Amino acid sequence: MASIMQNANRLRRALLSHSGISFGAWQMLPGGNLSRTIARTGYDWVCVDCEHGNIADNQMHESVAAIASCGVSPIVRIPANEGWMVKRALDSGAHGIVVPLLYTADDARKLVQSAKFPPVGQRGYGSPFSMGAFGDPSGLEYLQQANEALVTVVQIETREAFEDVEAIAKVEGIDVLLVGPYDLGNNLHHPITSGEPDVELKAAIEKIRKAAVTAGKKAGIYCISGEQARRYADQGFHMISVVADMVALPTFMADSLVKAKGSYGHAALNMAKGVVYGTASSLSSKDKEGKKS
């Protein structure tokens, strides 16, 4: 039977469901209200990005609590594979962590030591905040259940990690290998310049997916649109980031402005022809009358 914390972790439940597919969103801007707004749109998880996002430690705490209050899993991407960063993220109540810039299987083993309580790892116990993100289990229940309930995700985005991906996938305690396609493309000298990977990068991404599945782990990937996310879901990926706030917000606002200007331009053209709502000619007549008077 699943524990209290395992049941509360929506990402974990989705990954272990029949489909095994979990869709998430990426938050780069700070704010608890923004976190709640994103969490209420139906995603299984929201990644609070403390690597490239504009989110400080106290703002991370607020966002994690806000996301969890909506029944959605707060996942924190820390800036680097540093033990104190792992501790801060998990102590805030994160249901899981995404860790960038791994290079070797030893890096993955170091991460597990930071993310797991003894006897599995060396994580320190004492946060008064982490329980609240799981329906408020007791401190003892959190201590006893966290190792199995939390999700540990490593990004495969460096050349070194890509070359060592099979060994990284076999590290016990790592749950998901998540492809960072843009950095991976840059590091493999196949940068994404047109929105989609080239043939060589697609093959590299598929190699990572196969390594994860072969080792009994889940495969994840960062996407920038629903259409792209659907393709990777069909390809067999499990933990799929659909869109980020800093992609969705400017894209929607720019698209809306283009549509508004398009309507305005059409109206202006018709005005010039004197046919807008049948008023152009009458206005012209009034102007002429005004000039005569």
Per-residue confidence (pLDDT) for residue 136, from 0 to 100: 84
Number of domains comprising the chain: 1
Cβ atoms < 10 Å from Cβ of 119: 7
Q: What is the CATH number of the domain that holds 8?
A: 3.20.20.60
User: What is the arithmetic mean of pLDDT over 179-205?
Assistant: 95
Q: What is the pLDDT of residues 213-264, one digit of tens each?
A: 999 999 999 999 999 999 999 999 999 999 999 999 999 999 999 999 886 6
pTM: 0.88
Cα distance between residue 150 and residue 97, in whole Å = 8
Q: Indicate if 95 belongs to the active site.
A: no
Q: H or E element: which one contains 159? A: helix 159-163
Mean pLDDT of 189-208: 94
Catalytic annotation, pick one of 18, 52, 61, 189: 52
282 inside domain: no
Average pLDDT of the residues in 188-193:
95
Instruction: Establish if 70 belongs to a structural domain.
Output: yes
Q: Chain-wide mean pLDDT for the chain?
A: 92
Cα separation values, 277 from 118, 129, 261, 274, Å: 76, 62, 19, 9
Is 90 exceeded by the pLDDT of residue 60? yes
* The pLDDT of residue 47 is above 90: yes
User: Is 111 part of any domain?
Assistant: yes
pLDDT of 288 over the 60 cut: no
Domain membership of residue 162 as a residue range: 4-245
Per-residue model confidence (pLDDT) at position 222? 97
Q: Which of 80, 29, 85 is nearest to 57 (CA)?
A: 85
Does residue 283 lie in a domain region? no
Q: Give the pLDDT confidence of 250-276 residue by residue, as tens digits.
A: 999 999 999 998 866 555 556 665 554
220 assigned to some structural domain: yes
What's the mean pLDDT in 77-105? 98
